[in-house]
Structure 1
Amino acid sequence: MVILIVEDEAEIAQLIKLYLEKESFTCETCRDGETALRFQQSLQPDLVILDLMIPKLDGLEVCARIRQRPGAKDPYILMLTAKGEEIDRIIGLSTGADDYMVKPFSPRELIARVRALLRRSLRQGGQASQNYRTTHFNLDLEQRTAYRQLKEAAAELLDLTPLEFDLLATFMSYPGRVWSRDQLIEKLWGDDFYGDERVVDTHIARLRKKVEPDTPQPVFIKTVTGVGYKFEDELLGVSDSSS
């Protein structure tokens, strides 16, 4: 697993690299946003640890540009920020970050967050032969592609981040099931999650913008007041893509 560390404070960058390399990760570091984009293109990392306040291009802009890039690998993004205000976390997640940590943080927590993100991709490998198909969506776990079919128009390829794809796959695997925030956190982040459960709401809002015809009035991903969320669409099949 390759991790790109984007941090302008050299001591912090080297400390992160030291702890992650002790866990057998391959790490590269850089100190500004422009270099980060070049490294991401050439290295194709599995995960980017991205500081919010970096020179040339800030972390929000780097995150947004990575998500806009077509490529063989769409990395998980863990954003670091010295700011503790909720609005900064929400803005970071809304640009495509999968998780965030507020400085100062413990190395143990950082490693746990990294492993929780990367573990999702490892777990997906065991079920990569499945496809989920509903009336309006077709999801291929092997190719990690999702299509939406609305009315009589051609199927539309959805531009989803890794976490958004995993979230949609979770919903499509059990149409009609109500998921609490805690259950979604357990499914997507695992036992190592340290953040606020409201991070789920932010990712749900982002996913709705991409899959709903009318975001303020969702017809697929619905809120169940006081409980959580559920996905509603007729299940047409769960198939093995190798057959």
Structure 2
Amino acid sequence: MAHVLVVDDEAHIGELVSLHLSFEGHTSDRFLDGRAALEAAKTQAYDLFIVDVMLPGIDGVALCRALRQHPSTRKAPILLLTARRDETDKVLGLDSGADDYLTKPFGVRELMARVRALLRRASTGAPANGDEPATDVIRRDGLEIDPSRHQVTVDGRVVETTAHEFAVLKVLAANPGIVFSREAIIRRAWGPGTHVTERSVDTIVKRLRQKIEADPAEPTRVLTVWGVGYKFRDVATP
């Protein structure tokens, strides 16, 4: 079972989340501010972070960025809780490194469904639609994508990717030269019922390019097909 860090300045929400985590056998530590949560994350191992956006000390977006930069926390999935319904705020959260978001007020069943999906993908690399993950290593244009280890290597250098970034890259790199619409990427990477939006795909691709391209402003691997979507360049397998 998972060890989860929950940080929300509304104590009753943190208690509710922890209670329902315990019902499924998970343990959790609760914090009311971002700074205390970050210090704990640096000294203890967590399998999942549930982070409120509006926090004293360090806000949730800044906390997500800090978690993604620290070696011991960069791979753990992050579920962002937000009271803001504006899509711009949700994209900002994903851009900071969060893997998923949930808008307040939320239902407990939906919360736990998101938790299960994030933990499942983190532990097995399985897509959200429940299909068995591909285990063959994908090699394309200096990239090596290993689904079984959830690892991406660029020109011999391991780069850290979030679950969302890995899922998008795997879909594109496994089908070089094939153009995918944003909707098709969502369908192939996560299946039905996902809360990833088409605009979120743009954010994920932007983050991916910063990690795998020599010049993210002039990408040579993940290419934009204007008015359609994205594709991985059509290259021979090394």
- Same topology, TM > 0.5: yes
User: Following the alignment from structure 1 to structure 2, what is the Cα–Cα distance between the partners of residues 224 and 19?
Assistant: 44
Distance between the aligned counterparts of 2:236 and 2:38, measured in 1?
Answer: 39
Q: Distance in 1 between matches of 2:74 and 2:217?
A: 31
Tell me: CA distance 1:42–1:233, structure 2 relative to 1, closer, same or farther (3 Å): farther
The alignment covers a number of residue pairs equal to 232
The residue correspondences of 1:226-237 to structure 2 (distance < 5 A) are 226-236=227-237
Which amino acid in structure 1 is aligned with residue 23 of structure 2? K
Q: Which residue of structure 2 lines up, in the alignment, with residue 11 of structure 1?
A: 12
Matched, 1:141 2:142: no
How far is the alpha carbon of 1:140 from its aligned partner? 2.9
Q: 1:228 to 1:119 in 2, by over 3 A?
A: farther
Q: Report which stretch shifted further, 89-98 or 112-121.
A: 112-121
Aligned to 1:152: none
Looking at structure 2, the residues matched to 43 and 11 of structure 1 have their Cα atoms a distance apart, in angstroms, of 24
Deviations 1:134-168 (A, max 9, x none): 2221223344332223xxxxx43323223222322
The runs of 5 or more residues in structure 1 that have no matched partner are 150-154, 238-243
Which amino acid letter does the alignment assign opposite residue 138 of structure 1?
A: E
Aligned to 2:72: 71
Q: Is the 8 A contact 1:112 1:192 kept in 2?
A: no
CA contact (8 A) 2:178 2:231 kept: yes
* TM-score for the superposition, normalised by structure 1: 0.83
Q: Measure, in 2, the Cα distance between the counterparts of 1:118 and 1:178.
A: 30
In the alignment, structure 2 segments of 5+ residues that lack a partner are 127-131
Deviations 1:10-39 (A, max 9, x none): 101111122232233332221111221233
Partner of residue 131, structure 1: 137
Structural RMSD (CA): 2.5
- The CA deviation at 1:9 is 0.7
Identical aligned pairs, as a percentage?
Answer: 40
Q: Match of 2:129?
A: none
Alignment partner, residue 83 of structure 2:
82
For residue 235 of structure 1, report the CA deviation from its aligned partner. 4.6
Q: Deviations over 1:174-223 (max 9, x none)?
A: 22233332333234434342353321111111112222233233221122
Tell me by how many angstroms 1:229 deviates: 1.8
Q: Within 1, Cα distance between the matches of 2:185 and 2:4?
A: 25
Partners of 2:121 and 2:163 within 8 A in 1: no
Equivalence for 1:2: 3
Q: Secondary structure at the match of 1:216?
A: coil
- What is the distance in 2 between the residues matched to 1:48 and 1:72? 9
In the aligned structure 2, how far is the partner of 1:182 from the partner of 1:147? 27
Deviation at 1:124, TM superposition (A): 2.2
- Which structure is richer in relative contact order (CA contacts within 8 A, separation 6 or more)? 1
Equivalence for 2:39: 38
The alignment status of 1:161 with 2:162, answered yes or no, reads yes
The whole-number CA distance in structure 2 between the counterparts of 1:56 and 1:180 is 40
Q: Specify the alignment match of 1:21 in structure 2.
A: 22
Residue in 2 aligned with 1:197? 198
Distance between the aligned counterparts of 2:22 and 2:183, measured in 1?
31
| Between 186-195 and 202-211, the greater mean CA deviation after superposition | 186-195
Q: Which residue of 2 aligns with 1:96?
A: 97
Q: Distance in 1 between matches of 2:192 and 2:153?
A: 30
Give the distance between the partners of 1:212 and 1:60, measured in 2 at CA: 25
Check the 8 A contact 1:116/1:192 in 2, yes or no.
no
Q: Contact (CA 8 Å) 1:113, 1:192: kept in 2 or not?
A: no
CA contact (8 A) 1:116 1:190 kept: no
- Closer, same or farther: CA 177–23 of 1 in aligned 2, 3 Å: farther
* Equivalent residues of 2:9, 2:31 under 8 A apart: yes
Q: How far apart, in 1, do the equivalents of 2:189 and 2:49 lie?
A: 18
**Structure 2-normalised TM-score?**
0.84
Report the CA distance between 1:84 and its aligned residue. 2.0
Contact 2:64 2:78 (8 Å CA) reproduced: yes
